[in-house]
Amino acid sequence: MLRRMPATQKQKRRRALGETPPDKHVLYQRSVQSVEPEIDFVDRTYLKLRGKRASLLREDFCGTANTSCEWVRRRATNHAVGVDLDAATLAWGITHNLGALSEEERTRVTLERRDVLAARKQTGTRGYDCVLAMNFSYWCFKQRAQMLGYFKAVRASLAPGGVFFLDFYGGSDAHQVMKERRRIPAAGKAEPGFTYVWDQATYNPVTGAMTCYISFDLRDGTKMERAFRYEWRLWNLPELRDVLAEAGLRSTVYTEGDDGKGGGNGVFRPSEHNDADRAFICYIVAERS
């Protein structure tokens, strides 16, 4: 939702030039997603665990299918299936992300508009080498039984030896009603900088239910308020690992190393320990035997 504010000089100039305001999916991709390091992690971890390269990957909650596109760009033998419920978001991804692929690369991406709970293995295949659930999207499942149903459906879609990758965030900040602001630098003249706002607007510790929003503050004064909304349950790691185990998936947590300045260094390794930081992210790697 774009909040109506008195037009600034820059906005008036933009309108006079017939320029369109920035697109929320572009701002999301620039501020939230890091598909290259994410696919580096998936590719490297699968190779380490299985001694061979993965080729068939499913991206659950794919949104604009940015990650699927990165997967097929990596190798000519890679294929991706993106699954999401939202037709408008998928359509944006087809135009902008699949549209930026070569014709040949595009033939190796399939998008399915469906509930991830109903996603199955592709007919005529042994199943997926990898299934991904990133940006915490699987937290939309608030009941244990529902999460178990999702994990069982993922297990049934994986090839023998297939690997399910999930990301996770935690720490005491995750339990707070709070806002975090982060400046995103300009990416050349065509893509000015902006401020990304992560808004943990409500959190109920009795049920774990939380409502979060992403807003964007643009340099010309425009506020793109609550561009994205998430209704989640705040899960914790041991309970998710228990549910994965019940679904027949053996999980390992990969925690991030320290950059020596109080931040993460982007290197994730298997570990049974993490400091009780205010905020941390990690991956859960869940293997089908």
Q: Which residues bind to ligand SAM, rule: CB under 6 A?
A: 32-33, 61-63, 83-86, 89, 115-116, 134-135, 137, 140
The amino acid at residue 117 is L
Shortest Å distance, C-beta 113 to ligand SAM: 9
Shortest Å distance, C-beta 281 to ligand SAM: 13
Shortest Å distance, C-beta 139 to ligand SAM: 9
Nearer to ligand SAM, 138 or 194 (CB): 138
Nearer to ligand SAM, 30 or 288 (CB): 30
Shortest Å distance, C-beta 163 to ligand SAM: 17
Strand order in the sheet with 194-203: 178-184, 194-203, 209-218, 223-233
281 burial type by CB count under 10 A (0-12 exposed, 13-18 middle, 19+ buried): middle
Q: How far apart are CA 110 and CA 114, in angstroms?
A: 12
Q: How many helices, marked H, and strands, marked E, lie in the chain?
A: 8, 12
Shortest Å distance, C-beta 29 to ligand SAM: 8
Q: How far apart are CA 52 and CA 55, in angstroms?
A: 10
Q: Which residue has the tokens 């992403």?
A: 214
283 burial type by CB count under 10 A (0-12 exposed, 13-18 middle, 19+ buried): buried
Nearer to ligand SAM, 33 or 122 (CB): 33
| Closest residue by beta carbon to ligand SAM | 63
Shortest Å distance, C-beta 179 to ligand SAM: 18
What pairing do the DSSP bridges indicate for beta strands 79-84 and 56-60?
Answer: parallel
Nearer to ligand SAM, 32 or 94 (CB): 32
Nearer to ligand SAM, 89 or 252 (CB): 89
Nearer to ligand SAM, 22 or 63 (CB): 63
Could you give the count of Cα atoms lying within 13 Å of 114 in the half-sphere of its Cβ? 12
Shortest Å distance, C-beta 10 to ligand SAM: 29
Nearer to ligand SAM, 43 or 220 (CB): 43
Segments of the chain assigned E as strands: 56-60, 79-84, 109-113, 128-133, 158-170, 178-184, 194-203, 209-218, 223-233, 250-258, 264-270, 280-287
